[in-house]
Amino acid sequence: MPKITRRHQPKSKPAKARRTRKSAKKPGKKTAKRIVTKPQRAPARAKKPKRWTPAEVHEAFSRFRKANPEPKGELEHLNPFTLLVAVVLSAQATDAGVNRATRALFAVADTPQRMLALGEERLRDTIKTVGLYRTKARNVIALSEKLINEFGGEVPRTRAEIESLPGAGRKTANVVLNMAFGEHTMAVDTHVFRVGNRTALAPGKTPLEVELGLERVIPPEFMLHAHHWLILHGRYTCLARKPRCEVCLINDLCRWGEKTV
């Protein structure tokens, strides 16, 4: 009997043969080429500006002092109470706008007692040109009551006590402590925040960071007026949109990469 030899059958079809009809290459249709790109390098991080040396900080504030030995705040007031009220009213409003309203207000209500006698409704009418006047009127009446009931009608002298008053936060406390009581505090408003960051004198993501940074670097001899020098510098020279670097007193010391001198 002849020997029957079985031809070897592969168990599975080769890959090409397994291609289904669906995935089969259609004649004439081009397949998209895979484009292999080189991995992109991460963009270089912006260099951190060099820190100011103590000598540079001293030089900057000496120049501010020479140019304006007794800088004054622009919020009009008659005593610590009216200063407190003016600062509470100034949140999200300009000093000029607040002054226009408080001239008439302080003529009739320059103490907590007189403010209560005026009453919330008439107070509201007097300050209605100031933004958020309804809430602010409510706060001024409430803080006047609290001053009478808890502080003998006087503005207290500690940060915690001032911050406990309705409508008063950290910035209000810093302004009152500095301007009414001569404390070395640093109130950070939008101008001081910008100048601290732009110049790299005290960079920070929050007003508190900038405040603490400025307190760390500014020598005590300048601290009484430093807040006003920086506000005035931001308001009239280091403007938000178009800083006037060409007339800036500290343009050689400023670390801002985009300064125009």
Place of tokens 């290459």: 25
Active site residue 95: no
- CA distance to 62, 101, 261, per residue, from 188 (Å): 21, 24, 26
Binding status of residue 254 toward ligand SF4 by CB under 6 A: yes
- Binding segment for ligand SF4 (CB under 6 A), chosen from 13-21, 47-55, 127-135, 242-250, is 242-250
CA 256/CA 243 separation, integer angstroms: 11
CA 22/CA 250 separation, integer angstroms: 73
Binding status of residue 63 toward ligand SF4 by CB under 6 A: no
In whole angstroms, the minimum distance from the beta carbon of 259 to ligand SF4 comes to 4
- Spot the catalytic one: 189, 205, 242, 259: 189
- Give the contacts of 67 (CB within 8 A, at least 6 positions apart): 249
Q: Which of residues 191-220 bind ligand SF4 (CB under 6 A)?
A: 198-199
What does the DSSP 8-state code read for residue 246?
Answer: G
In whole angstroms, the minimum distance from the beta carbon of 172 to ligand SF4 comes to 26
Active site residue 136: no
Exactly one of 88, 105, 202, 250 binds ligand SF4 (CB under 6 A); which one?
250
Binding status of residue 243 toward ligand SF4 by CB under 6 A: yes
Place of tokens 């950290």: 170
In whole angstroms, the minimum distance from the beta carbon of 242 to ligand SF4 comes to 9
What does the DSSP 8-state code read for residue 155?
Answer: -
Of residues 134 and 244, the one with the C-beta less far from ligand SF4: 244
CA 82/CA 78 separation, integer angstroms: 6
Residue 112 identity:
P
Burial class (CB in 10 A: 0-12, 13-18, 19+), 228: buried
In whole angstroms, the minimum distance from the beta carbon of 245 to ligand SF4 comes to 3
Q: How many residues bind ligand SF4 (CB under 6 A)?
A: 13
**Chain centroid offset of residue 63 CA:** 25
Exactly one of 237, 240, 241, 257 binds ligand SF4 (CB under 6 A); which one?
237
Q: Hey, which residues are catalytic here? A: 171, 189
Applying CB under 6 A, the residues found at the interface with ligand SF4 are: 198-199, 237-238, 243-245, 248, 250-251, 254, 256, 259
